[in-house]
Structure 1
């Protein structure tokens, strides 16, 4: 069975994890959102009593 030979598969595993741990996070973290978040207003929302038609 050629799958039991770890020689080529171990390096594929190592290169894949290096890709996931080094290259992809730097590309994701360098992304900047075009929409800047706006702060929420400090005004509180007024809540009233609920009307329950079945009670």
Structure 2
């Protein structure tokens, strides 16, 4: 069974990993979310009991 020449495949493997590790992360990290998360206040909101109309 013939063996493949590893020279072009090794270059393709190394080049694809360089693209994945160097080119793609800055492009993904440059996107920002439209609404940044807001901090919640430490105090709990005051809740009221429900008034059920059928009781």
TM-score normalized with structure 1 length: 0.67
What is aligned with 2:29?
A: 29
Choose 1 or 2 for highest CA Rg: 2
Select the structure that is richer in helix: 1
Displaced runs of 4+ in structure 1, greater than 4 A? Answer: none
Aligned Cα RMSD in Å?
Answer: 1.6
Distance, in Å, in 1 between the alignment partners of 2:44 and 2:6 is: 62
Q: Which runs of 5+ in 1 are unaligned?
A: 46-55
TM-score normalized with structure 2 length: 0.67
What is aligned with 1:11?
A: 11
